[in-house]
Amino acid sequence: MIAGKTVVVFTAHPDDEVGVAGTLAKIRRAGNRLVLAVATDGSKGTHDPGVSPAAMARIRTREMEAAAQVLGAELVWLGYADGTLEHHREALRERVFQLVRRYRPDLLLTFDPWRRWEPHADHRTIGMAAFEAAYLADGCWYYPEHLDQGLDPHFTPETYLFYGEDPDVTVDIEATFATKLEVAACHASQIPDPGAQEIRWRERLRRAGRPETDLYREYFHTMRGTELGI
């Protein structure tokens, strides 16, 4: 496990980090700086018409702040409304490049933007923007105005994609699985019965014909070498 490095995670919504929270807890526990950059306010994350988007955003902001505290992560909000990222693609891309140059990650994690049948454009859009920034933010003529802001180009040595279908990296999270459950419990508006979350995950594995030991594994596809290693 890497140590003493900066790890930046780009997600679309509050709660997107839950599926990789075991890995994030393991990264933080090893003594790395962990930054969670959340692109939207999660304001559309309800099926109850009696809950306004503004109220939902306030709820999910509190939940995300609690989850970040559990993980020991720094939290950055990109400030977009839920469900709008593809409509702000260029502004989002510039913002993500800016954050990569500011935090200068040794390792970046984000959605796999090429996941088949991905229904949520926010997931695809933040994944592509973050992937491009990891690859291109070392080029000085991409958003050269950043130079005037004191933000030099930056090369990200390792990039990992999560929630994809072609993983080539497996992380053992048995030691941090309890923390993953604690992070899930922070998002009560999205996971209404956190105490039953482990049971639901086990049932999902059973239906997929996967071994129960997969409960303690998280999977990624790497777009870089793995010299740092997670």
How far apart, in whole angstroms, are the C-alpha atoms of residue 172 and residue 218?
Answer: 7
Q: What is the pLDDT of residue 227?
A: 52
- Tell me how crowded residue 217 is: count the other CB atoms within 10 A of its CB: 17
pTM of the model: 0.94
Domains, the chain, ordered by start: 6-222 (3.40.50.10320)
Q: What is the pLDDT of residue 203?
A: 81
Cβ within 8 Å of residue 208, ≥6 positions away: none
- Walk across the sheet containing 217-222 and list its strands: 74-80, 33-40, 6-11, 107-111, 158-162, 217-222, 169-172
Q: What is the pLDDT of residue 229?
A: 62
Q: What DSSP character marks residue 76?
A: E
Please count the CA atoms within 13 angstroms of the CA of 140 that sit on its side-chain side. Answer: 4
Q: What is the pLDDT of residue 230?
A: 66
Residue showing tokens 């984000």: 110
- Tell me how crowded residue 172 is: count the other CB atoms within 10 A of its CB: 14
Residues of the chain predicted below pLDDT 50? 228
Q: What is the pLDDT of residue 101?
A: 98
Angle at alpha carbon of residue 99, lines to 97 and 103, rounded to 5° = 125
Q: What is the pLDDT of residue 72?
A: 98
Query: Which among 83, 88, 92, 95 is positioned nearest to 120, based on CA atoms?
Result: 83
Q: What is the pLDDT of residue 211?
A: 83
